[in-house]
Chains A and B, each alone.
Chain A
Amino acid sequence: MLGELEQIVLLAVLRVGETAYGVPVHEEIVRLARRDLTLGTVYKTLSRLEEKGFVRSYEGDPTPQRGGRRTRCFAVTTAGRKSLESSLATLRRMAVGLDVGLEPT
């Protein structure tokens, strides 16, 4: 079972897709999760997910608008995807028959 923050971050990485580095992942979370997280918290969660083998990271290219610094890109691994699916499935099972706004598929 993943923590809530881990689920949110994993979902955000999946949503951003190929160029999932700090800024877009963070933006996605702020936009959809409506949480004022700091970048540090996002990176902290990502590194925890990486330790668990749910995401992997690679260095991206430096760009001028980042002062010539490289990005660090993240992608969800198969294990991460499975874990996420199982977490969400658990939530749905638990919500069956309850009026909590979570529809079973």
Chain B
Amino acid sequence: MSRPEPLPFRLLERFLPSSTADAVVGDLIERQLTGMRLWRETLVAIWHLRDRAPKEVELMSSFLSDLRLAARLLARAPTYTAAAVLTLGIAIGATAAIFSVANPVLIQPLPYHNADRVMVVWERDRDGSRSTVGFTTIRDYAAHSTTFESSAALGDWQPTVSEGTEPERLQGLRVSSTYFHTLGVQPMLGRDFRADEDVPGAQRVVIIAYALWQRRFGGDPSIIGKPISIGGTPMPVVGVMPKDFDDVTAPGAQIWRVLGYAVTDPYACRTCRHLRMIARLKPGVTVERAQSELTKVHKAIAAEHPEDYASPDALVAPLQREVTLQYRPALLALGTAVALMLIIAIANMTNLQLARLVRREEEFAIRTALGASAPRLARQLLTEAMLIGVLGGVAGLAVAWAAIPALVRQLPPQLPRLGAIHLDLAALGVIGAIVVVLTVVVGLAPRRGRRVSNIADGLRAGRRLTGTPHSAVRAGLVVAELAFALMLLVGAGLLARSVIRLLDVDKGFDASNLLTLEFNAVGPRYPANEDVFAYHDKVRDAVRALPGVLSVGVVNQLPLGGNLDMYGVEAQDKPESDPAKVPSGDRYVVSADYLSTMRIRIVAGRAFTPAEERDTVNRIALVSQALATRLWPGESAIGKRIRMGGPERPFRTIIGVTGNVHHAGLDATQLKQFYVPERQWFFSDDTEMLVVRTQGNPTALAGAVRRAIQQIDPAQPIVKIAAMEEVVAASTAQRRLALTLFTCFALAALLLAVAGIYGVLAGNVAERTREIGLRAALGATPGNILRLVVGQGARMAVIGLGVGLFGAFALTRSLRALLFGVGPNDPTTIVVATGVLLAAALAACLVPALRALRVDPSQAFRSD
């Protein structure tokens, strides 16, 4: 009889009313069932016969009384409660906020029909980089691929709407007629583009976004079929996209028109790689299969036209991955950081709860003596944890609710799905899940220590000589907190050093006191290139005449402005048969005073003269040092001749070499550039940038500059007015945002870890008052006692930092994409972060240590 009963019988006795349990277990023993059959009988019996109503009522009422007790306890310790709820609220809220950003961007499928089948197709250059594609290539890919259900070409388009009110520059796309079908969306009003509209010479029709329709056309459904003036040309609106349509290939796009290319068009050639391609896979086709087929297709086309393909391969990749590629590392790093902070906050909460438990041992002992069972007390602790967890969750909800809109404002506007970032059900689910985990961890942690079972021991609590229950668990938690805090500090330190290095980079121009804006000249008033250039001249003259303006220049694209307009540069004396080996340079089509206005250095030769600006016969150019060195290493570039835009374009003579400018980003390594006077380029650009060197604060002049330009032609929109320093800052926005958030998380982690170490030591000193007094009475010096307390803290700190170092190595590897000028294991950063954390930890030790020193030896013998 002493043998323990099999588990099924114990379960039956646990869950069935005792007389029923006796009968059922007896029957089961008599039938000598074993194995699966026994379990089946057990589970069915429990299901049918379990002692239900009374137990549930009892549980409910005991839960309510537990809840009341927990609420009273928390209300009695308002500081503790506030600190706990605030800490949890920040950690939970930050987690929910970061999740809310990452979820639509990285996790949720794009809001298109079967979005997982939509792919982006690139040409893949020899260095593995993605390249846009020429129209003829897109046509060939589509014709030869059997894995695509449909495909479409798309190119950027920034039209000016001059209909009705203020002229306005819009973000748009020129697309194949199959574009929306390929994405898997339809207009909500009107119709999609037709194939017969996607040919040269067809009437140009547009589809507009819901927001544009509401804003400019008052949501009037009769807009369908009506022409609107786009850059002076009337184009009928054939459709309006649905309200929730978000074009991730061009975030913020508000208007679409058909591409209307034919293969015979000069800009449709295979090397005219300025279009993007999307494709929808047939059902059941894997990305791998599409990729292997397209590789074959590309190789066959390239073999047929070897002179046209620098790219050895093509790339098929899911649309969602491609459009979020550049944001993924930052989001993943932030996700990791916020998760670490959350873990620290939960560990801290567990620690606080354990500390309180030690002080409440007497209460539990009394309740046990009065008949409370161990499960009953455990439920009480779980209820308390749940109450704190739920309060923390509510605070977290408030934090997330406030933080998400603020975060969205800081995010780069090009981030796909930006509009879908809000506090949604998924975020609420995350908060709920955190609260559950928190409740379980904090509520059950005490059970891992020692059960409060020995009543006598409990009642003697406070008179114990040494040692407390849970002290090992608590020290372990502090060690973990320190380790995670170090990881975050190292991460924040690396990002900080990267941003400092980045802002220290020699940009190649002087960004101070420089106003920039985008303007253009489109419409019937500017039929020829010369009309456009004349307009540019007038704008420059008008702005230069303003008081406070030192000089003015015009350029087609601004360094760090986010444009990537590059051309291959061929040297006349070094013909290159392999198109892959022709270097590309940033194209700057400028007015003569651009270089001096930007204060770009001339390192050899000379800049353009105002006379050369109008000279269209003697073709000239300047090149950057990087381009000069690439084409003529060890030689002077002055007097050499180069050609851009293909064999049909003329060669031009290099008259000077400029310093390198950081164009694509402060971290750019591509520094090859060329400069050409605007009247010498073979077309006039749709949009131009004006750069204005001012005497004082450049933004103070913004209004005057705008008015001066609008007086010349009020129909032309002026956008993106900003000081160049803002443009530079915006180019580092993603890194700075990552840095700011990381720093916040790291500081919170530091604070929590230090609070943790302080809490453990302070609790320890309070509990060991008697021991310390005894030691002092027996002749321990203040130094001995100091060592006793600080030594304990130092041990935790050293172990925590040791573990944290390994963690930091792992974490910073994921940060690599965000770093600049520092390695992921930068020793300075690691040493400084470790030092900061160690100093903070030791400072946290000192307060309890000093308290220990003040212990009066007589306390050792006093009894309360």
Please say whether chains A and B are actual partners in one complex. yes
Query: How far, in Å, is A35 (CB) from chain B's closest CB?
Result: 14
User: Which of B26, B31, B48 has the most chain A CB atoms closer than 10 A to its own CB?
Assistant: B26
| Contact between A67 and B25, CB atoms less than 8 A apart | yes
Question: Chain A contacts of B57 at CB under 8 A?
Answer: none
| Contact between A39 and B29, CB atoms less than 8 A apart | no
Complex: A69 Cα to B20 Cα, angstroms: 11
Chain B 19-32: CB-based contact to A (< 8 A → 1; otherwise 0): 11011111111110
Question: Chain B contacts of A70 at CB under 8 A?
Answer: 19, 22-23, 26
| Contact between A22 and B44, CB atoms less than 8 A apart | no
Q: Which of A40-48, A78-86, A88-96 contacts B (4 or more CB under 8 A)?
A: A40-48
Counted as pairs of residues, one from A and one from B, with CB atoms less than 8 Å apart, the total is: 71
Q: Tell me if B272 is interfacial: C-beta within 8 Å of chain A.
A: no
* Besides A39-B44, A39-B45, A43-B20, 8 new A-B residue pairs in contact (Cβ under 8 A), listed by A number: A21-B27, A23-B31, A38-B45, A39-B31, A40-B24, A43-B45, A44-B49, A66-B30
Query: How far, in Å, is B703 (CB) from chain A's closest CB?
Result: 85
Task: List 24 interface pairs A-B (beta carbons < 8 Å), by A numbering.
Answer: A22-B23, A38-B40, A39-B28, A39-B41, A40-B41, A40-B45, A40-B46, A40-B48, A41-B48, A43-B49, A44-B48, A44-B49, A67-B25, A67-B29, A69-B23, A69-B25, A69-B26, A70-B19, A70-B22, A70-B23, A70-B26, A71-B23, A71-B27, A72-B19
Q: Tell me if A59 is interfacial: C-beta within 8 Å of chain B.
A: yes
| Contact between A39 and B26, CB atoms less than 8 A apart | no
Closest to B32 in A: A65
Complex: A39 Cα to B23 Cα, angstroms: 10
B49's partner among A23, A47, A63, A67 (CB-CB below 8 A) is A47
| Contact between B22 and A43, CB atoms less than 8 A apart | no
Query: How far, in Å, is B34 (CB) from chain A's closest CB?
Result: 14
Complex: A63 Cα to B27 Cα, angstroms: 11
Complex: A59 Cα to B23 Cα, angstroms: 9
Complex: A65 Cα to B32 Cα, angstroms: 9
Interface magnitude class on chain A: 20 to 34
| Contact between A22 and B45, CB atoms less than 8 A apart | no
Query: How far, in Å, is B617 (CB) from chain A's closest CB?
Result: 102
Instruction: Knowing A40-B48, A59-B19 are in contact, say whether A23-B40 is a contact too (CB < 8 A).
Output: no
Closest to B45 in A: A40
Which residues does A use to contact B, with CB under 8 Å?
21-23, 26, 38-41, 43-44, 47, 59, 62-63, 65-67, 69-72
| Contact between A23 and B30, CB atoms less than 8 A apart | yes
| Contact between A41 and B30, CB atoms less than 8 A apart | no
Question: Chain B contacts of A71 at CB under 8 A?
Answer: 23, 26-27
Question: Chain A contacts of B26 at CB under 8 A?
Answer: 22, 62-63, 66-67, 69-71
Majority-rule SS of B interface residues = helix
Complex: A23 Cα to B19 Cα, angstroms: 16
Complex: A65 Cα to B29 Cα, angstroms: 7
| Contact between B22 and A22, CB atoms less than 8 A apart | no
A23's partner among B27, B45, B46, B47 (CB-CB below 8 A) is B27
B27's partner among A26, A41, A59 (CB-CB below 8 A) is A26
Question: Chain A contacts of B30 at CB under 8 A?
Answer: 23, 63, 65-66
Question: Chain B contacts of A44 at CB under 8 A?
Answer: 48-49
Question: Chain B contacts of A39 at CB under 8 A?
Answer: 24, 27-28, 31, 41, 44-45
Question: Chain A contacts of B46 at CB under 8 A?
Answer: 40
Question: Chain A contacts of B31 at CB under 8 A?
Answer: 23, 26, 39
Complex: A47 Cα to B25 Cα, angstroms: 16
Complex: A47 Cα to B20 Cα, angstroms: 10
| Contact between B29 and A66, CB atoms less than 8 A apart | yes
Complex: A59 Cα to B21 Cα, angstroms: 12
Complex: A63 Cα to B22 Cα, angstroms: 12
Query: How far, in Å, is B197 (CB) from chain A's closest CB?
Result: 71
Closest to B40 in A: A38
Question: Chain B contacts of A21 at CB under 8 A?
Answer: 23, 27
Query: How far, in Å, is B25 (CB) from chain A's closest CB?
Result: 6
Q: Mark out the residues of chain B between 1 and 44 whose CB falls within 8 Å of any chain A CB in the assembled complex.
A: 19-20, 22-31, 40-41, 44
Query: How far, in Å, is B30 (CB) from chain A's closest CB?
Result: 5
Question: Chain B contacts of A26 at CB under 8 A?
Answer: 27, 31
Complex: A89 Cα to B655 Cα, angstroms: 117
